[in-house]
Amino acid sequence: MIAPKLLAVVPLLSGAVFAAPAPAVGLTDANGAPVLFKRGEGIHLMNCEYTGSVPSFASLVVYCANDGDCNNLSVVHPNSNVCTKSRSGTRSYHTWEGSTQSCTFGSGITFTWNIPSNAQSLPNYNYVGTGSNGYNTYSGYKDDQHFGVQYWDSKCRSIYYYI
């Protein structure tokens, strides 16, 4: 019974013109490639620089309920979603790689990761292992060090991200 109905539709479609999918509208990077917004929650390991009257440098772990917000300079992140790994008056950042590490947020939740010591020599977006907050396990990737968030009037570069 289905076959005769299908055969009746085929002649109707034989001359039909189908439209191509609409292109995605969004941002592009410096090379003109489309930038895709990440969805779902994410955790970013970031290095930040404040270049005001007293320069300071910090390494932060930032939790974003919507991972796209970790890539949005206009989003203000509450202190409970930011964990400081290090802060310095000289240009030195925390070493994210080489051992099991963790950071406890103001909410009391601890995020733990173990990035291989050679991870910075890998291509951008390469898988670098998993991270966990005790509730969920996330896949980690080397990021391209784009500016992700502003915090304490600092510009922060995303070094690794977990989604």
pLDDT digits (tens, 9 = 90+) for 125-163: 999 999 999 999 999 999 999 987 776 678 899 999 999
Rounded Cα distance, 153 and 66, in Å: 21
pLDDT at 21 over 60: no
pLDDT at 19 over 70: no
Q: Write the pLDDT tens digit of every residue in 23-79.
A: 444 455 565 544 544 458 999 999 999 877 787 899 999 999 888 888 877 777 778
pLDDT at res. 1: 52
Residues 6+ apart with CB under 8 A from 81: 62, 63, 64, 105, 107
pLDDT at 80 over 70: yes
Please choose, from the candidates 139, 111, 138, 113, the residue with its C-alpha nearest in 3D space to the C-alpha of residue 125.
139
Please choose, from the candidates 28, 162, 52, the residue with its C-alpha nearest in 3D space to the C-alpha of residue 103.
162
Least confident interval from 12-16, 70-74, 114-118: 12-16
pLDDT at 20 over 90: no
Give pTM, 2 decimals.
0.73
pLDDT at res. 70: 85
pLDDT at 12 over 70: no
